[in-house]
Amino acid sequence: MVNFTRRSTLGLAGAAAGSLILPRFSIAQADQRPSITIAVQKISNSNTLDPLREQSNVGSRIFSSSLWEALIGTNWLTDLTATPGLATEWKRIDEKTVELKLRQGVKFHNGDELTAEDVAFSFGKERMFGNTQPATGKTIFITEKNPLGRENKELPVEIPAVARRIWPALLGVEIIDKYTVRFVNGTPDVTMEGRLSVSVSSIASRRSWDEAKSYLDWARKPVTTGPYKVAEFKPDTYLIYESHDDYWGGRPALKQIRFVEVPEVASRINGLLSGQYDLASDIPPDQIAGIEKNAGYEVLGGTITNHRLTVFDKTHAQLGNPLIRRAFTHAIDRQAIVDSLWAGRTKVPAGLQWDFYADMLIKDWKVPEFNPQLARDLLKQAGYKGDPIPYRLLNNYYTNQTATAQVLVEMWAQVGLNVQIEMKENWQQILEKTPTRAVRDWSNSASFPDPVASIVAQHGPNGQQQQVGEWTNQEMNTLSNFMETSTDRAKRREAFARMLQICERDDPAYTVLHQNAVFTAKSKKIKWKAAPSFAMDFRAGNWS
């Protein structure tokens, strides 16, 4: 395989970029495109713009379609299917290898052309995997110093773990020529194309990484290929994107996008109606009618490929017994939550799966039935004596989060569960391993149409729940490995059905509450479509 060394010509594109200053200045002088301001609940949990750190709905909303791009793209505005992105075509070489042809002439925000070198770097030790090893096979990564003589930047500790969660067996990227790469896996994997489309697999400029003084400097202003580039970022306050006029997909419709962090729903709505904001995101369903009483405004959106969950820590003294966790699942009237808090604008799904799984969908699967008497019987069998069980959550990080928690606590109380809400300020506090960690609020997304994108990625051996020490199950881990390496779709489907049985019934790791829905308010004068995902798309063709 090709050795992953840098080419000495990486810096040449920067010299040529200077000749573009004058014509770009002239364009800017005559630029009549609008600039917009969007009120969002949160800009970033990690205070970076790095998708390997920002594994969240806010990251998906702000980074996925405006800043970062992957080799295989996503049809954001339609059915979320795969589409050519930074690669124009791809093909299977064998069960472990995918070859991709890069789109020629793609420019990074610094003016450099995208080449195979940038792709290899983006999936290398320095940027993604650190010292972690693939699940099987011999690694083909090398260790090197960058051309400026500095040691490689030290990655934040969570990045290699997240990278291996998405790419557990990737051996490396083989450079065939300037515009051709091969992704080589250590095991057979029918989902490699799906993995190539997720935000974690986005491509960064190698030169910009080398020139950054620190990881944080780079992560707050990453140089990518997206339609917009970072102009200014003040964590917890605002983020400003500017048009990337050399974008391969056409000159963006907006000159500037300004995201403003506005945690309070009322402030987002009032700012929209007063003209302070052009769009306001994360609108609760009970506010939609009030907004649309104003003839000039409308609310767009609906269900997305994300489910709201309650997650269990079975190392807690009360939750070690699966009967108690099962009682939690049967005490929940999910449809009542959908009807009362969501005005019927979402639904109770068939467990942790989505319709776009197609032939992998377990159609006859259902979430645990609402059966309070069964819940009481299970608690009696478990010998539960009413000991307090804490329930950790953030303050409306998710739409209706606090209201949902209050309803759940009352439902659990009706069957005899003594659940007490603990409000936390951030995800670090939510996940902190202390004697009080027991139940928490969460959500799971499917970033491509296969069960490994969700149940394996989040609850399997490399998933967050097992990595933080909340839950583990040996049979689940064996099945996860099978799901990630088998090419037999029928047997994979059987394995997935068994995983749902383990995680949602036999040894509950979580319980699904409802499918998530996202709503964005705007003026009717603005012609813009909402995507069936967290992502907000502002490419050419989706704004006028």
Contact 514, 349 (CB under 8 A): yes
What radius of gyration do the chain's Cα atoms show?
24
Ramachandran quadrant class, 263 (left: phi over 0; alpha: psi -120 to 50; beta: rest): alpha
Four-residue CA torsion sign, 353, 357, 359, 360 = negative
- C-alpha span between 98 and 40 (Å, rounded): 38
State the pLDDT at residue 59: 81
Which pLDDT belongs to residue 154? 82
Residue whose token pair is 């090197």: 144
**CB-side exposure of 61: number of CA atoms within 13 Å?**
25
How confident is the model at residue 388, as a pLDDT? Answer: 97
What local confidence, expressed as pLDDT, does residue 145 receive? 32
CA-CA distance, 96 to 86, in Å (whole number)? 21
pLDDT at 95: 97
Give pLDDT, residue 148. Answer: 32
Fold held by 43-221: Dipeptide-binding Protein; domain 1 (3.90.76)
Backbone angles phi, psi at 225, to 5 degrees: -110, 0
pLDDT at residue 364, as a whole number? 95
β-sheet with 35-40: strand ranges across:
228-234, 238-243, 256-261, 35-40, 279-280, 510-523, 297-312, 439-445, 389-393, 419-423
Separation CA 197–CA 218 (nearest Å): 22
Give the integer Cα–Cα distance in Å for 1 and 397.
Answer: 46
Please give the pLDDT value at position 157.
Answer: 86
Sorted by sequence, the CB contacts under 8 Å of residue 51 that are 6+ apart come out as: 59, 63, 64, 68, 199, 200, 202
- Residue found by looking up tokens 């881990």 in the block: 477
Question: What averages of pLDDT result for each successive group of 10 residues across the chain (544 residues)?
Answer: 33 33 49 95 92 85 92 91 96 98 98 98 95 70 33 79 93 97 97 96 97 96 98 96 97 97 96 97 95 96 95 97 98 98 96 95 97 98 98 92 97 98 94 93 93 96 93 97 96 98 98 97 96 92 90
* CA–CA separation, 179 and 360 (whole Å): 34
Q: What is the pLDDT of residue 152?
A: 53
Q: Return the H-helix or E-strand segment holding 72.
A: strand 72-74
Instruction: Give the per-residue pLDDT at 29.
Output: 56
Measure the CA–CA gap between 437 and 425, rounded to whole angstroms. 15
Q: What span, in angstroms and rounded, lies between the C-alpha atoms of 234 and 282?
A: 21
Instruction: For Cα atoms 279, 249, 39, give the angle at the middle one, nearest 5 degrees.
Output: 15
What are the C-alpha distances in Å from 263 to residues 183, 291, 394?
A: 41, 18, 12
C-alpha 167, offset from chain centre: 15
Contacts of 391 (CB under 8 A, 6+ apart): 405, 408, 409, 419, 420, 421, 422, 438, 439, 440, 441
What whole-number distance in Å separates Cα of residue 258 and Cα of residue 36?
A: 6
CATH topology for 304-515 is Dipeptide-binding Protein; domain 3 (3.10.105)
Name, in order, each residue with C-beta under 8 angstroms of 490's C-beta and a sequence gap of 6 or more. none
The domain limits of the chain are: 43-221, 304-515
> DSSP 3-state helix, strand, coil percentages of the chain (rounded to 5)?
30, 20, 45
Cα(202)–Cα(154) distance, integer angstroms: 19
Q: Write the single-letter amino acid at 449.
A: P
